[in-house]
Amino acid sequence: MSLDGVVCQAMAEHKATVIWLHGLGDSGDGFAPIVPALKLPAELGIKFIFPHAPIQPVTINGGMKMRSWYDIVSFDLDKRADEQGVRESAAKVEQLIENEIASGIPANKIILAGFSQGGVIALHLAPRFKAALAGVMALSTYMCVPDKFSAEAIQTSLSVLMVHGSLDEVVPMQAGKQAYDVLQSNGLNVHWSDYPMAHEVCGEEVALIRQWLIERLS
């Protein structure tokens, strides 16, 4: 089953694509308003895809069904990401990347972005994808199975932008730092920024994302 979502078409000839994955309980609609806020140059031809995660029961929320990229059975960081669920969602997102490549957009003009749960999928998939993407944006997030990263990562020269809130109580900043350390120790090109914010996105972060996207997709 393929993922549906919100698509913001490129303002000029389509040359690049950003696939942006939302967090737990949100939907593709949640991040779509960031496109006008980024004020990206039209000539870059960037199309945005904001997929909706599948609806499934989430253990920590009493089994309530909601949009979720994987089940969360525990708040403990080492048990938080359900590995099988992460791999299943990563395979669905991989199909979105394949569709873009098939439509004529090269892998090095595709960015995979994600917030919180979506960031877990982005950090899992991009280094394991067969081709090197233009970059990964991992916002307020952490890593699934960090102990398997070295053995499974193919793309170790990827450019990664990590941003975290120092006041985040949902995903503590140390969880993001742990992922950063794993990426760095495996040779990936990681930029880290943190802001005095909670589990959210702030104005300075949007400005940083804009600058990074222009650098990666120009």
Residue 168 falls in the annotated catalytic set: yes
Distance separating alpha carbons of residues 127 and 132, to the nearest angstrom: 8
Helix (H) or strand (E) holding 85: helix 83-102
Annotated catalytic residue, options 27, 116, 140, 159:
116
Give CA separation, 58 vs 19, 67, 102, 131, 149, in Å. Answer: 24, 9, 34, 32, 25
Annotated catalytic residue, options 26, 71, 82, 168:
168
Reduced DSSP (H G I as helix, E B as strand, rest coil) percent helix, strand, coil of the chain, to 5? 40, 20, 35
Residue 116 falls in the annotated catalytic set: yes
Per-residue HEC secondary structure of 6-72 comes to EEECCCCCCCEEEEEECCCCCCHHHHCCHHHHHCCCHHHCEEEEEECCCEEEEHHHCCEEEECCCCC
Residue 89 falls in the annotated catalytic set: no
Question: Could you give the residue numbers annotated as active site?
Answer: 116, 168, 199
